[in-house]
Amino acid sequence: MTIATERELDDDLFTRTKLFIGGTWVEPGGDNRLDIVNPATEKVIGSVPEASEADVDRAIEAAVDAFRNSPWRRLSYAERARYLERLAEEIEARADCVAQAYVYDFGGTIRSGQVMAAGAAALVRAHVGYVDRLSDDPERVTVGNLEALLVREPIGPVLGIVPWNTTFYVSVVKMAPALLTGCPIVIKVATESPLGSFVLAEAIEAAGIPEGQVSFLPGRREALGAITKRPEFNYISFTGSTAAGIEIMKDAAENVTALTLELGGKSGGIILDDLDPVEHAPLVFAGTMAQAGQICTTYSRLFVPKAKEAAWRRALADYYDGLVVGDPSDPATDVGPLVSASHRDKVERYIEIARSEGATVIAGGGRPTDLVQGYFVRPTLVADVTPDMRIVREEVFGPVITLQPYETEDDAIAMANDSEYGLAGGIFTLSEERAIPIALRLEAGNISVNLSSGSFQLPFGGYKKSGIGREGGFAGVEELLEWKQVQLKRTPPIDVPRDAARM
Going by DSSP bridges, is the β-strand pair 19-21/24-26 parallel, antiparallel, or unpaired? Answer: antiparallel
Q: Does residue 499 carry a pLDDT above 80?
A: no
- Closest to 354 measured CA to CA, from 367, 339, 366: 366
pLDDT at position 290:
96
Query: How much is the average pLDDT of 18-47?
Result: 97
Q: Does residue 5 carry a pLDDT above 70?
A: no
The structure's pTM equals 0.94
Query: How much is the average pLDDT of 419-445?
Result: 98
| Type of residue numbered 478 | E
From the candidates 97, 183, 296, 409, give the one annotated as an active-site residue. 296
pLDDT at position 454:
87
pLDDT at position 2:
44
- Give the Cα separation of 315 and 395 in Å (integer): 24
Q: Does residue 250 carry a pLDDT above 60?
A: yes
- Give the Cα separation of 456 and 471 in Å (integer): 7
Query: How much is the average pLDDT of 382-409?
Result: 98
pLDDT at position 118:
98
pLDDT at position 498:
62
Query: How much is the average pLDDT of 234-249?
Result: 97
Residue 469 region by backbone torsions, left for phi larger than 0, else alpha for psi between -120 and 50, else beta: left
Residue 18 burial (10 A CB sphere; 0-12, 13-18, 19+): middle
HSE, CB side, 13 Å, CA atoms: give it for residue 3: 25
Q: Does residue 7 carry a pLDDT above 70?
A: no
Query: How much is the average pLDDT of 154-169?
Result: 96
Q: What is the pLDDT confidence band of residue 491, given thresholds at 50, 70 and 90?
A: confident
Query: How much is the average pLDDT of 243-268?
Result: 97
| Type of residue numbered 403 | L
Taking the CB of residue 387, how many other CB atoms lie within 10 A of it?
Answer: 11
- Give the Cα separation of 70 and 85 in Å (integer): 20
Q: Does residue 495 carry a pLDDT above 90?
A: no
Task: Please give the backbone phi and psi of residue 11, each rounded to the nearest 5 degrees, phi first.
Answer: -60, -35
Q: Does residue 3 carry a pLDDT above 50?
A: no
pLDDT at position 12:
84
Query: How much is the average pLDDT of 464-471?
Result: 97
Query: How much is the average pLDDT of 427-440?
Result: 98
| Type of residue numbered 150 | L
pLDDT at position 410:
98
pLDDT at position 500:
54
Query: How much is the average pLDDT of 462-482?
Result: 97
pLDDT at position 493:
74
pLDDT at position 453:
78
From the candidates 50, 262, 395, 479, give the one annotated as an active-site residue. 262
Percent of the chain with pLDDT over 70: 96
For residue 74, the SS3 value is: helix
Delineate the domains of the chain, giving CATH numbers in brackets: 6-263+466-485 (3.40.605.10), 268-449 (3.40.309.10)
Q: What is the pLDDT confidence band of residue 494, given thresholds at 50, 70 and 90?
A: low
Residue 296 annotated as catalytic: yes
Task: Please give the backbone phi and psi of residue 117, each rounded to the nearest 5 degrees, phi first.
Answer: -65, -40
| pLDDT tens-digit series, residues 185-220 | 999 999 999 999 999 999 999 999 999 999 999 999
Identify the residue with better confidence: 404 or 499: 404
Identify the residue with better confidence: 7 or 108: 108
Q: Does residue 492 carry a pLDDT above 90?
A: no
Q: Does residue 242 carry a pLDDT above 60?
A: yes
Q: What is the pLDDT confidence band of residue 283, given thresholds at 50, 70 and 90?
A: very high
Residue 8 annotated as catalytic: no
What is the pLDDT of the chain when averaged over all its residues?
Answer: 95
